[in-house]
Chains A and B, each alone.
Chain A
Amino acid sequence: MTDVVKMRQIEKAFGANVVLKKVDFTLATGSIHALLGENGTGKTTLMNILTGVYTKDHGDIEINGAPATPASQQQIAFIHQELSLVNDLSVYENLYLGHELKHYGLLRRREMIETAQAFVDQIGIKLDVTTMVGDLNPSYKQITEIVRALMRDAKVIIMDEPTTSLTDVEINDVFKMMRTLRDQGVSLIFISHKLNEVLEICDTYTIMRDGVVVSSGPVTPELTEVQLSNQMVGKELANSEIYQPRPLGKPVLTLKGLTKTREFQNVDLVVHAGEIIGVTGLLGDGRSELFSAVVGATAFDAGQVLVNERPVRIRTTADIKRYGIAYLPKNRKENGIVPDLNIEENMALPILGRLSRGGLIQRGQLTATVQRYVKQINIKVADVKDVIGSLSGGNQQKVLLAKALCTNPKVVILDNPTQGVDVGAKAEIYHQIMDLAKTGISFVILTSEIGEIQQLCDRVYVMTHGEIRAELPHDAINERDIMLVATGGQLD
């Protein structure tokens, strides 16, 4: 087998900070290669060097046996987590964006549709290229992005955490496509924090830690997730039980018959003081819509929300603080990060008023509060006055978690709380949640990661098409039952 990419002794420093130290990286033609490592270990930098976005300080890059040139680097496509598709254009228009087929300045629409459709059919994907991209589900957006790279003659495709916002069924669609491409001789680099997926789809792997490669090799049947994660973290991951049974208090948040047409129906749900509940299901289960209505971000049609067993009216998100509720929405970039504010202002955004005396924000108090959380949940920050964009994705997520916690809430609603967070940091966050729950704070965790639910939740609600279809206590939480209910089946 030949190698399509060979990187040798790559070094890169930003200023005084050495990001890559003599990194070797090899990608075999027609293979799927996992690139693993915690946030901030240099994976993205390495890939940016491979594609020519950054220049290397030292080392060699060979593409198809020849030293890399800007032209050969063009054949490497980097598909980022935030997709670069235009939702208001159709699939084929996106595929041809910037490379439209024209005849005297007029678009050759029919030809573009036919060519694009033929191309898509040939790869074996069921996709009508005249569909609007905005109407596609997330997995097909991902697939469209890959097809675009292929149409531009990409030989190597780098996929940065492609599955984080996908449900299991959608992940299977993407994986199917990845396998097909591999068999056609395309090489793929798969960056992911989901180790079970790595074991499922990848042929080989490379693990990076602190700018060096700590291990690489073939993915064999003997390889386990624990082995991989231990190498990533560099120590035996205390695979200790995070879950601890605790005495629970009275109901703090109760939903009675909550209904919104076409989104969720007749939802009854209760959270007790100090309890951690999970809400899970597949895409379209309505869990995010449900809690977005609970916190006042959208309206609901019927039903009641009770806090401490008393009905409350939450008209807008600004009201939830009064009832001791905090909310961490999903999709960090759109719903969480305020790019023009610095780290400390992002974190303390909900409590800037509370930190003011005589109308002026008390800067000292602000920094002290923020520093407390930086320490408590171990956020890797050089200076809390830096822009939020200077943090890695996982650390940004921790800032947002701190933002939810800093209001001193009684109930914390977390939607996809470990999005883009690496294994080590995930465990830290879980421990934090468990510790806080012991002090009587309640958590509602909306997630599709079953492992997350198993490690944390006292109870889990499984939703399908906007309805709660099952409620499992901690001891009964298992992947088989959850998937059975989520896909519309019945428990015995």
Chain B
Amino acid sequence: MTNTQETSASEHKHRSLKGLIADYSAIFAFLILFIVAVLLKGSIFLSVSNIMNILMNNSIIGIIALGMTLVIITAGIDLAVGSQMAATGLIAMTILNATQSIFLAIVAAVFAGLVFGAITGGLISKFGVPAFIVTLGTMQIYRSVSEYYFDGGGILATGRSASAFTAIANTKLFGIIPMPMIYWFALCILISVIARRTAFGRHVYAIGSNERASFLSTINVNRVLLAVYALSGVLVALASIIEASRLGSMNSASSGSGYEMDAIAAVVIGGTSMAGGRGTILGTVFGTLTLGIINNLMNLLGVPSFLVGAIKGIIIIGALLIQRSVSKEES
């Protein structure tokens, strides 16, 4: 504070230009990778079907990452989203097969997601257990109970509603645009408006930035934290419906496995601070797309699948180092 105390308005404007670059570093990272992809695999990469493929494949991580963004902005983390997705998906499929009602299946999954999220949020806010520990626990609980119940196997959509259910994710608008992408973008807009334009959204940022000051400013911190994790749970449930619909099945052991890492990576590449208080939905969208391009490019280049992880890791760390150097300059 003492250093910035006497800086002028113009200095400040000057700084916020650099801040702008830092804020949109995710877009730069995305553009760089995009150009690299075009240079390496131009015509195939740019084909409509490939682009749609990238968007389709990443919409599920993209939706999970939206909730994760808000969670991380509160200076929290949710490691359980992957196994939570399997659990809510399995609940949806069970209800679907039993009742043949798509509506009930979705309601059940969303409700389950809300409850799972609220449990996480409640443990974190009410009892002050660190988010990392709580979700490390719930991650294993949801996975293990799912596996036990389905004996490590999965469940297939059967009956007369099965085809209607799989149509949710496998329909293409105008025969080109995959529906999951539409769901993803609609949710992006919704969550972005919530983050930027609602009191709840601003309280999320305030808590991540200075929880103590927020509490003393009469914000009901516990309630906001509970709501953030509950909202994240609902988004995970919606993602699980899309995933279940896309594949027509859900597996207790493999579904959603590792999704938490991809979602966290997307959020962090998108410029959200793990320390809380800073981040944007737009950044997360580009973070997700950046991850998507990396996966796609590895695929197109025929990189051995066992090596994809290593190259992905290098690019993630590289993207973050570039971001860090820009934001350091800013402060």
A contact set with B: CB distance below 8 Å:
14-17, 19, 39-45, 48, 53, 80-82, 160, 295, 297, 316-318, 320-321, 327, 329, 333-341, 345, 349-350, 352-353, 355-356, 359-361, 382-383, 386-387, 389-393, 396, 403, 407
B328 to chain A, nearest CB (A): 16
Q: Which of B92-100, B114-122, B209-217, B303-311 contacts A (4 or more CB under 8 A)?
A: B209-217
Hey, what's the 0/1 contact readout for B172-195 against A, CB within 8 Å counting as 1?
Answer: 000000000000000000000100
A82 touches B217 (CB 8 A): no
Contacts A318-B219, A334-B213 given: A40-B6 contact, CB under 8 Å?
Answer: yes
B330 to chain A, nearest CB (A): 11
Q: Which of B213-228 contact A (CB under 8 A)?
A: 213-220, 222-223
Q: Given the complex, which residues of B lie within 8 Å of A353, measured CB to CB? A: 199
A349 touches B206 (CB 8 A): yes
**From B3, B203, B205, B213, residue with most partner A Cβ within 10 Å:** B213
Hey, what's the 0/1 contact readout for B80-113 against A, CB within 8 Å counting as 1?
Answer: 0000000000000000000000000000000000
Q: Given the complex, which residues of B lie within 8 Å of A295, measured CB to CB? A: 216
Which single residue of chain A is at the shortest CB-CB distance from B209? A340
Contacts A335-B213, A339-B209, A390-B4 given: A316-B12 contact, CB under 8 Å?
Answer: no
A49 to chain B, nearest CB (A): 11
Contacts A19-B6, A360-B193 given: A317-B218 contact, CB under 8 Å?
Answer: yes
A-B pairs, 10 with minimum CB distance: A17-B8, A15-B10, A382-B9, A340-B277, A14-B11, A352-B199, A340-B209, A318-B220, A353-B199, A349-B217
A317 touches B215 (CB 8 A): yes
A435 to chain B, nearest CB (A): 24
Query: CB of B5 within 8 A of chain A?
Result: yes
A340 touches B8 (CB 8 A): no
B8 touches A14 (CB 8 A): yes
Contacts A39-B5, A160-B2 given: A350-B206 contact, CB under 8 Å?
Answer: no
A11 to chain B, nearest CB (A): 14
Query: CB of B208 within 8 A of chain A?
Result: yes
Assembled-state Cα–Cα distance A387/B220 (Å): 24
Assembled-state Cα–Cα distance A47/B223 (Å): 45
Contact of B6 among A42, A320, A321, A337 (CB under 8 A): A42
Contact of A383 among B8, B9, B203 (CB under 8 A): B9
Assembled-state Cα–Cα distance A206/B217 (Å): 39
Q: Given the complex, which residues of B lie within 8 Å of A340, measured CB to CB? A: 205-206, 208-209, 277-278
Q: Given the complex, which residues of A lie within 8 Å of B219, measured CB to CB? A: 317-318, 349-350
Assembled-state Cα–Cα distance A407/B11 (Å): 33
B133 to chain A, nearest CB (A): 21
A312 to chain B, nearest CB (A): 15
Q: Given the complex, which residues of A lie within 8 Å of B213, measured CB to CB? A: 334-338
**From B6, B7, B193, B202, residue with most partner A Cβ within 10 Å:** B6
A291 to chain B, nearest CB (A): 11
Contacts A336-B213, A340-B277 given: A389-B9 contact, CB under 8 Å?
Answer: no
Q: Given the complex, which residues of B lie within 8 Å of A336, measured CB to CB? A: 213, 216
B197 touches A360 (CB 8 A): yes
Q: What are 30 A-B contacts with C-beta separation under 8 Å?
A: A14-B7, A14-B8, A15-B11, A17-B9, A19-B7, A19-B8, A40-B5, A44-B2, A44-B5, A45-B6, A48-B3, A81-B2, A297-B216, A316-B220, A316-B222, A317-B218, A318-B220, A320-B218, A335-B212, A335-B213, A338-B213, A338-B277, A339-B209, A339-B210, A349-B203, A349-B214, A360-B193, A361-B198, A389-B1, A389-B4
Q: Which of B66-82 contact A (CB under 8 A)?
A: none
B258 to chain A, nearest CB (A): 31
A250 to chain B, nearest CB (A): 25
B12 touches A356 (CB 8 A): no
A459 to chain B, nearest CB (A): 26
Query: CB of B14 within 8 A of chain A?
Result: yes
Which single residue of chain A is at the shortest CB-CB distance from B223? A318
Which single residue of chain A is at the shortest CB-CB distance from B197? A360
Q: Given the complex, which residues of A lie within 8 Å of B13, measured CB to CB? A: 15
A44 to chain B, nearest CB (A): 5
Q: Given the complex, which residues of A lie within 8 Å of B220, measured CB to CB? A: 316, 318
Contact of B12 among A327, A334, A386 (CB under 8 A): A386
Contact of B1 among A318, A333, A352 (CB under 8 A): A333
Q: Given the complex, which residues of A lie within 8 Å of B278, measured CB to CB? A: 340
A157 to chain B, nearest CB (A): 15
B206 to chain A, nearest CB (A): 5
Q: Given the complex, which residues of B lie within 8 Å of A327, measured CB to CB? A: 216, 218
Assembled-state Cα–Cα distance A391/B7 (Å): 9
Contacts A39-B5, A335-B213 given: A350-B10 contact, CB under 8 Å?
Answer: no
B300 to chain A, nearest CB (A): 39
Q: Given the complex, which residues of A lie within 8 Å of B209, measured CB to CB? A: 338-341
B4 touches A15 (CB 8 A): no
20 extra interface residue pairs, beta carbon distance < 8 Å, beyond A341-B205, A349-B214: A17-B7, A19-B7, A39-B5, A40-B5, A41-B6, A42-B6, A43-B6, A44-B5, A82-B1, A320-B218, A321-B218, A338-B213, A340-B209, A341-B202, A350-B217, A350-B218, A352-B203, A382-B9, A393-B5, A403-B217
Q: Given the complex, which residues of B lie within 8 Å of A334, measured CB to CB? A: 210, 212-213
A390 touches B7 (CB 8 A): yes
Q: Given the complex, which residues of B lie within 8 Å of A389, measured CB to CB? A: 1, 4
Assembled-state Cα–Cα distance A42/B6 (Å): 6
A209 to chain B, nearest CB (A): 13
